[in-house]
Amino acid sequence: MIIAERIQDIRNSLPEEVTLVAVSKTHPTEAIREAYDAGQRIFGESRPQELRAKYEALPHDIEWHMIGHLQTNKVKYIAPFVALIHSVDSSRLAEAINKEAGKCGRVIDALLEIHVAAEDSKSGWDYQELLDYVRSGALSELKNIRIRGVMCIATNTEDEAIIRADFERLAAYHAELAPMLGSQFDIISMGMSDDYPLAVECGSTMVRVGSKIFGNRNYTQKE
């Protein structure tokens, strides 16, 4: 019951138009089932094989989101069913998704992950490189991938001013890219358990909440 209550609390605190992705990585299917029974239908995972196994074990009206770093050779595990890939961080990955989606006869929705955090370690596009890539027109050649918006992971810090600046930067990038990417480019994925209310203040349309729903993860997530 606790999972159901946490989901309800979070939902109640979010504006209606903000999508809640329940991040279930490392948690067992029973926990996901509990969230499902509470009405949650969108789940996020960060490892392709784990995502595939959970997809096979759980009801097929679940919308599965891939939120973690994705290697090109692993796209094939999720291409047949994934609803949204949050982590497109290179032209190579965009091309690989496009190719695998084509094999499945699908158009896969995806977000451009942009590097906004202070740390070097965080993945995502350098914004200037992304801008060059989008302006080159190469993305619009990829007919089996549909770019729906942007995503970021904020700096890992207690300093709210830094996190706010990261979120505001992503929202500004989204606004700058939007005229080039069309009306379906309407998702800003930002905000996790510790910072999603701030992300919503800064314009997030999709929050990715894990530990605040499912509790702490038992093992360290490989990024």
CA distance 124 to 128: 12
Does 112 interact with ligand PLP (rule: CB under 6 A)?
Answer: no
Name the minimum Å distance from CB 188 to ligand PLP: 14
Does 24 interact with ligand PLP (rule: CB under 6 A)?
Answer: no
Name the minimum Å distance from CB 216 to ligand PLP: 8
CA distance 102 to 81: 13
Q: Which is nearer to ligand PLP, 69 or 99 (CB)?
A: 69
CA distance 23 to 71: 19
Mask 144-163, x = binds ligand PLP (CB under 6 A)? ---------x----------
Which residue in 24, 40, 46, 205 binds ligand PLP (CB under 6 A)?
Answer: 46
Q: Which is nearer to ligand PLP, 116 or 209 (CB)?
A: 209
Q: Which is nearer to ligand PLP, 99 or 216 (CB)?
A: 216
Q: Which is nearer to ligand PLP, 22 or 147 (CB)?
A: 22
Does 26 interact with ligand PLP (rule: CB under 6 A)?
Answer: no
Does 115 interact with ligand PLP (rule: CB under 6 A)?
Answer: no
Does 20 interact with ligand PLP (rule: CB under 6 A)?
Answer: no
Q: Which is nearer to ligand PLP, 52 or 191 (CB)?
A: 191
Which residue in 14, 67, 112, 139 binds ligand PLP (CB under 6 A)?
Answer: 67
Does 85 interact with ligand PLP (rule: CB under 6 A)?
Answer: no
CA distance 188 to 18: 10
Note the residues at the interface with ligand PLP (CB under 6 A). 23, 25, 46, 67-68, 153, 192-194, 208-212
